[in-house]
Amino acid sequence: MKILSTLLLAILAMITLACGYGSNYNSGTNTGSMPAIAQLAPNSATAGGQAFTLTVSGSNFGTKAVINWGGSAQTTTAYVNGGQLTLAIPASMIANSGTVQVTVTNPATTTGGLYGSGTPAQTSAPMAFTIN
């Protein structure tokens, strides 16, 4: 009887561990699609200056990626490709001198299905933009 109980417990454990843990399982730690900023162009502006277009270059930018300016999501002007995004910066955003942190966020995705799989939102490390 003890052997049968142990065998049933082992089978139950294997079934429990196998359910929902396929190759598409994502614990949120996968960095394969983490956006990364390599360069801002321009990387600085003069306080009180004119509006301009900021080009963010890097890697792993999704088609719905968002540029964050000082922690606030902005409407990305253009997705050029997986390594380049642009954003129209109005003069009001550079009215005062200081440093603004720029990041890129790939929004969360869902693929539906029984287990609601998908990917979590992922945000790049910040890069500083200087307003002189």
Tens-digit pLDDT profile for residues 12-49: 555 655 554 444 433 344 445 799 999 999 999 999 99
Q: Distance between CA atoms of 132 and 14, rounded to whole angstroms?
A: 61
pLDDT given at position 28: 40
Write down the pLDDT at residue 23. 41
Cα separations in angstroms, 41 against 72, 76, 120: 19, 15, 28
Q: Which two tokens stand for residue 86?
A: 């642009």
pTM attached to this predicted model? 0.73
Pair of tokens at residue 75? 């409407």
* Strand (E) or helix (H) holding 15: helix 2-18
Would you place residue 10 in the very low, low, confident or very high pLDDT band (cuts 50, 70, 90)?
A: low
In this prediction, residue 76 has a pLDDT band, given cuts at 50, 70 and 90, of confident
DSSP 116: T
